[in-house]
Structure 1
Amino acid sequence: MRNAPHLPGLRGHAFAARSSYRQPARLVTREGGEDLWVDMQNDERAVLASAYLSDLVIDPPLGSAPRKVTFPDGAVFETTDHAAIEALTGQTRGSLLHHYEGFNSRLFGVVALCLAAAWVLWRYGLDIMAAAAIAVTPPAVIEQIDVGTMQTMDFTMAAPSKLTDTQKRDVEKVYRRLVNALPDDVRRTHSFELLFRDVPGMGPNAFALPGGTMLMTDAFVKDFPDTDVMAGVLGHEIGHVVEQHGLKRIYRSLSMYVLIAFLAGDVGPILEDVVLEGNVLLSLSFSRAQETEADEFGLKLSKASGFDPAGLKRFFKELDGRFGDSEPPQWKSTHPSSAARVEAIDAYIDGL
């Protein structure tokens, strides 16, 4: 303490013990043996409070707010002279933080660094965190996502299928050939259940849920009876399941909250909406990269199952010819255009 400076008069205001009366005052220090002795004086030099420096309670700095010095008897001294207080106490962790929080040229660098870190986390970190979250997601939760989503669809937009038993069996035969061509470990991981629904607002469509539940609309079966086309589209949807695109889009869409919730063990209300209602999943779209990956998976699976992989190409050509620039939003949203997909499929088939 002997190295602390003597203060001829640190100006501020004082509050006497058990009093709210505010008056001008100053702190004066003098030798006190092993420690400094600190007097708080008013303008008439009357001592309002005294104590050793080591017995004072000095608040840490907080922005431009006044620093408070509290004496053992409860008297308080306030000052905005942060530099003088730091000279009295020496440099502390609080004073270092206060220094770096001050507005200066470094602030712009810190902001730029934070923005860069946020971008890197969004661009690369979310995929890593999503993979970690998927790895610890119990299979029962994934199955419940499928159940909740189907319940939401059945309540809001879907009606029981009007297909005949023969039509359903024909599609199921194609589907089973595709599933049987998958590796054994993949088949054990997912249920791969095929469902049919009449969904007038969705048109000819098929989509897969994270747990392996597959839904095909009546309109698709009626408009695309070609088994090679069915195999291409169903193989594409199986690709979404195997590559876990559904879970990845959930975690990326809900971002940090759900990822941290899964890893920390607190699922919270957002996960309840995903699992119990399925609304979040229905509102999301696959990315272009995921669609391309699923196309390639479907082409390989179709060929391995004995179907003509060009069936998927015929499906997209039909969509392009039927709808052109007004393709149904289920296929177009973040998806590549049908024409672009046809070109990519041609190039990929040539390499099979």
Structure 2
Amino acid sequence: MAGQASVEGRLFDGQSSRPTPVRLTVTGTGVDVVWLDGSDARERYVLDALSWHEPLGATRRLDLPDGRVCEVPKGAALSQFLAACGHRERAITVWQGSGLRVLIALMVLAVVGFAGYRWGVPLAAKWIAQALPDSAVEMIDKQFMVSLDKIDFLKPTQLSDEQQADLRAAIAPLMAARERQIPVTLHFRSAPQVGANAFALPGGTVVVTDELVKLAQTPEHVAAVVAHELGHVRHRHGLRNVVQASILAAVVTVWTGDASALATAGASVLLNSAYSRDFEREADDYGADLLKKTHQSPMLLAEMLDALTRQAIEEGDLTEDEADGHWSDYVASHPPTPERIERLRRASEQ
């Protein structure tokens, strides 16, 4: 014990919001509480019955054993009082009092957060996506297709039976060359709102729009796009994207404390965009390998990417800078087209 020491503060009795000025004095093995306005008699508490909170703002809170609370301003008097009480600060309080230690903690938190975002979340999503049985994911696809058809997002195909047969014949070798035979269902749909496109759902459903077939020079060019979509199916990118977005949305929601805020949705999309670009590169590589297995050139896919980009520029949906990825690379879900074409060109030359 370092001897007597006193400090003044405000006492809240839990019955009224009006504080009472008091003086706390260390005496022997306890603390005497004296009401400065004379409204109550002196009281004594043993040191072990007192509970100090962590420093917060300009005051320090002390819980008394009878449910009352005392707030004491921080400063030299409080420090001397705590020393006289024999109070030892917890490690976290000591850390908070050191600017260097706080800086180190923030740096460690930033490194851990980045590592979790860059590697932890994708690994977790990949494990979850691969662990789900095919039947469960196929059910998701069926429900999703029903929803798309109901809202007229997709319309019945206008392709003739002969055109569809030619396309399926061009795609069949790619289906057979896959190393993991995840069930794949191919759909042709008219989609004026979407335009020339193809997309894969999480469970193995691949949709090819009539507009893409119209843009393609040959059925083999359409098959090359399907080879890319089979890469998404093989790696379950659709499902992993859903899982990743859910994890990131949950983290951002906890961080901001507002699940309904627009910033939550926007931040989740921005953070998840890098994952989407990685998925597109992985699907391009898979498609290129699949084309080579069937003795076709990956340049078929490169030519389709170029045709899709040129069409988007002609229709005003894309500018030259956006197509090159000069300004939108961070938020774009796809890598710049020139980069993708160059990767496919190198794959065709190997």
| TM-score, with length taken from structure 2 | 0.73
Matched, 1:171 2:164: no
Q: Which one of the candidate residues 213, 230, 241 is aligned to 1:238?
A: 230
Flag the 1:6–1:78 CA change in 2: closer, same or farther, 3 A.
farther
- Return the alpha-carbon distance in structure 2 between the equivalents of residues 182 and 171 of structure 1: 18
Equivalent position of 1:22 in the other structure: 20
Q: What is the CA distance between 1:212 and its match in structure 2?
A: 0.9
Identity %: 24
Q: Which one of the candidate residues 216, 221, 244 is aligned to 1:252?
A: 244
Equivalent position of 1:315 in the other structure: 304
Task: Kindly name which structure, 1 or 2, has the bigger radius of gyration based on alpha carbons.
Answer: 1
Flag the 1:307–1:43 CA change in 2: closer, same or farther, 3 A.
closer
Matched, 1:349 2:348: yes
Equivalent position of 1:68 in the other structure: 62
> CA offsets, 1:225-280, max 9 Å, x none?
61321221111111121122223333333344569xxxxxxxx99xxxxxxxxxx9
> CA offsets, 1:32-56, max 9 Å, x none?
xxxx2443335699961134434x3
- Return the alpha-carbon distance in structure 2 between the equivalents of residues 18 and 208 of structure 1: 64
- Return the alpha-carbon distance in structure 1 between the equivalents of residues 193 and 338 of structure 2: 23
Equivalent position of 1:305 in the other structure: 294
> CA offsets, 1:170-196, max 9 Å, x none?
22222232111112xx11xx2200011
Q: What is the CA distance between 1:143 and its match in structure 2?
A: 2.2
Give aligned pairs, total: 316
Paired letter, 1:237:
E
Paired letter, 1:206:
A
- Return the alpha-carbon distance in structure 1 between the equivalents of residues 103 and 279 of structure 2: 37
Q: Which one of the candidate residues 183, 187, 190 is aligned to 1:195?
A: 187
- Structure 1 residue ranges without an equivalent (≥5): 31-35, 260-267, 270-279
Q: Which one of the candidate residues 92, 101, 105 is aligned to 2:96?
A: 101
- Return the alpha-carbon distance in structure 2 between the equivalents of residues 71 and 197 of structure 1: 73
Equivalent position of 2:146 in the other structure: 151
> CA offsets, 1:37-89, max 9 Å, x none?
443335699961134434x33333341434335266x7765533542453244
- Return the alpha-carbon distance in structure 1 between the equivalents of residues 7 and 78 of structure 2: 10
Helix, strand or coil: the match of 1:26? strand
Flag the 1:327–1:300 CA change in 2: closer, same or farther, 3 A.
farther
Paired letter, 1:118:
G
**Are the aligned partners of 1:303 and 1:309 in contact in 2 as well (CA < 8 Å)?**
yes
Paired letter, 1:178:
L
Helix, strand or coil: the match of 2:27? strand
Flag the 1:169–1:53 CA change in 2: closer, same or farther, 3 A.
same
Helix, strand or coil: the match of 1:25? strand
Mean CA deviation greater in 6-15 or 114-123:
6-15
Paired letter, 2:162:
T
Paired letter, 1:193:
T
| Higher RCO (Cα < 8 Å, 6 or more apart) | 1
Flag the 1:216–1:137 CA change in 2: closer, same or farther, 3 A.
same
- Return the alpha-carbon distance in structure 1 between the equivalents of residues 71 and 303 of structure 2: 80
Q: What is the CA distance between 1:166 and its match in structure 2?
A: 1.9
- Return the alpha-carbon distance in structure 2 between the equivalents of residues 43 and 258 of structure 1: 50
Give the root-mean-square deviation of aligned CA atoms: 3.9
Paired letter, 1:201:
Q
**Are the aligned partners of 2:225 and 2:301 in contact in 1 as well (CA < 8 Å)?**
yes
> CA offsets, 1:92-131, max 9 Å, x none?
46x4433333473433333333223222222222222222
Matched, 1:208 2:197: no
